[in-house]
Chain A
Amino acid sequence: MIETVQDFFRTLAETHPKWNFIFFHDPSQWERVISGFYVTLQLSVVCVILSVVIGIIGAWAQGSPSRIIRWVVQGYIQFFRNTPPLIQLLFFYFALGQFTPTVTGPDGWTEQPIISNIGWAIISLSFFAGAFNVEIFRSGIEAVPNSTLEAAESLGFTRAQTYANVTFPLALRVSLPALNNNLINLVKTTTQAIAIAVPELLYEMVSIWNDYASAQNAAMTVLFFTYIALVGILAFGMNRWEARLHVPGFGKTS
């Protein structure tokens, strides 16, 4: 089966030299694609989760009675929302990376930073998307009617109980469509990690076509389809979640 596929693409490369899907007939190139895809998947999943956590904590902190905490959150949002994510990535890796402590590597003599380039990419991208998520959750929280919260208050709910049982579940339903958009953007933005040499899918694909110029068209095609599939799965999951949380008479009418 695999050999038939490999033969097909080998013949295709011979008859159409500009369409050399080299990774489909050369196992060592296939391994590069798979390892790149795995890193992209890892970056995406970890950043999506971390950015949502940052969003929830940030939105909650924005309602804090302490003015200093609110200022810190505002400053964070303004910085990360108003500067390009690529510059943030470079800044984290090259500027902050210099000041992190190093440890001796497994070979016993090289000095390695404790935060790798993948680590910096995760931190940088999570904070970038997290800044938007704070604003998304905040708008959801603000959409919860005061009178509903007052009803919870009148029943003897504490502030934390009101937040957990009323504010958050309702705010989440309002926030989901915007959150969906932002997370889709985040998954696509992970490709910028190529700038600090994180071996994710784009990095591996570019490496392959640098080695084999005939694979350029093929690599780009595969990149497009892979991201369409990846984002498609995320969007499908988010839409399913949205549908599952939908309650009659709240939010969109159906």
Chain B
Amino acid sequence: MDIMKGEVICIIGPSGSGKSTLIRCINALNDVQSGSITLEGYNVHDPRLNKLELRRKVGMVFQQYNLFPHKTALENVMMAPLKVLREPRAEVETRARALIRKVRLEGKEDAYPGELSGGQQQRVAIARSLAMNPNVMLFDEVTAALDPETVKEVLLTIKELAADGMTCILVTHEMGFAREVADHIYFTDKGVIVEHGAPETFFANASDPRTRKFLGQIL
């Protein structure tokens, strides 16, 4: 699996097939048991890897948003650049406010996560990751916990991000979205990549029977 800068990759597959494990390995949240991952010169599989340095380059958004509940939306976005990168507060705040605007949450800067809807929280989580200026963004089933209406607003945010040239790796069940934005689609089953291809060919004529069965069930 090779991913180029600026590409948008979707990983699909039945539950338990290792999609989340795969992208969690890229951020070193899970240890690599076998094989290798190289990201901009970092050997992620190396046990001596400087995980903290790697994570500054890789943003991650989770299914359950995982915002810091005791901080406002703005503080959530500002916290990592302030504490981890130790950047000056004024600069971080300007950037954080711009990011909140970018995910279309102006006016919600001072709201606590508990006062926001799921979709709004997820967009704060995206802004929080972007505040670290990552080179790659990982999205782990970020719309799975949302209702259909709020799914749209989150997907729109990701689509804009992809259009800006951000390298994105998504684990998703949104086939329509995958077809629309992905440059490449990977299908995993039982811990291995079964098949991959550009969306047009992947959805139209999947070759592997497992892929066809999975697509047949959900499309």
B67 touches A151 (CB 8 A): yes
Identify which of residues 30-66 in chain B touch chain A, using a CB-to-CB cut-off of 8 Å.
Answer: 52-53, 55-56, 58-60, 62, 64, 66
Identify which of residues 103-136 in chain B touch chain A, using a CB-to-CB cut-off of 8 Å.
Answer: 112-115, 125, 128-129, 132
Complex partner residue of A247 from B56, B69, B80, CB under 8 angstroms? B69
Determine the chain B residues whose CB is within 8 A of the CB of A156 once the complex forms: 52-53, 55-56, 80, 84, 132
Query: What is the bound-complex CA distance between A247 and B116, given in angstroms?
Result: 13
Determine the chain A residues whose CB is within 8 A of the CB of B114 once the complex forms: 247-250
A249 touches B112 (CB 8 A): yes
Q: Which residue of chain B lies nearest to A152 when distances are taken between CB atoms in the complex? A: B68
A147 touches B80 (CB 8 A): no
Identify which of residues 141-177 in chain A touch chain B, using a CB-to-CB cut-off of 8 Å.
Answer: 145, 147-148, 150-158, 161, 165-166, 169-170, 173
B213 interface hit (Cβ, 8 Å): no
Complex partner residue of B68 from A161, A166, A245, A248, CB under 8 angstroms? A166
Q: Tell me whether A147 and B66 are in contact in the complex, defined as CB-CB below 8 angstroms, given that A156-B56, A248-B114 are known contacts.
A: yes
Listed residue (A155, A158, A247) with the most chain B CB atoms within 10 angstroms of its CB: A155
By secondary structure, the A interface counts as helix
Query: What is the bound-complex CA distance between A171 and B113, given in angstroms?
Result: 17
B27 touches A157 (CB 8 A): no
Complex partner residue of A150 from B62, B69, B70, B84, CB under 8 angstroms? B62
Q: Which residue of chain A lies nearest to B84 when distances are taken between CB atoms in the complex? A: A156
Q: Which residue of chain B lies nearest to A162 when distances are taken between CB atoms in the complex? A: B83
B62 touches A248 (CB 8 A): no
Q: Tell me whether A161 and B84 are in contact in the complex, defined as CB-CB below 8 angstroms, given that A147-B64, A153-B55, A247-B112 are known contacts.
A: yes
Chain A 228-252, CB-CB to B under 8 Å as 1, else 0, gives 0000000000000000010111100
- The number of chain B residues with a CB under 8 A from chain A is 28
- The number of chain A residues with a CB under 8 A from chain B is 23
Query: What is the bound-complex CA distance between A11 and B132, given in angstroms?
Result: 77
Q: Which residue of chain B lies nearest to A245 when distances are taken between CB atoms in the complex? A: B70
A151 touches B62 (CB 8 A): yes
Q: Which residue of chain B lies nearest to A166 when distances are taken between CB atoms in the complex? A: B68
B79 interface hit (Cβ, 8 Å): yes
Determine the chain A residues whose CB is within 8 A of the CB of B115 once the complex forms: 248-249
Query: What is the bound-complex CA distance between A148 and B64, given in angstroms?
Result: 9
B163 interface hit (Cβ, 8 Å): no
A157 touches B66 (CB 8 A): no
A153 touches B132 (CB 8 A): no
Chain A 205-220, CB-CB to B under 8 Å as 1, else 0, gives 0000000000000000
B175 interface hit (Cβ, 8 Å): no
Determine the chain A residues whose CB is within 8 A of the CB of B3 once the complex forms: none
Determine the chain B residues whose CB is within 8 A of the CB of A245 once the complex forms: 70
Min Cβ gap A241→B in Å is 14
Identify which of residues 172-190 in chain B touch chain A, using a CB-to-CB cut-off of 8 Å.
Answer: none
Determine the chain A residues whose CB is within 8 A of the CB of B80 once the complex forms: 155-157
Query: What is the bound-complex CA distance between A245 and B70, given in angstroms?
Result: 8
Q: Which 6 A-B pairs have the closest CB atoms?
A: A249-B114, A151-B66, A155-B80, A156-B55, A250-B69, A154-B60
* Chain A residues within 8 Å of B, Cβ to Cβ: 145, 147-148, 150-158, 161, 165-166, 169-170, 173, 245, 247-250
- 6 interchain pairs, CB-CB under 8 A: A150-B29, A150-B62, A151-B68, A156-B56, A245-B70, A250-B69
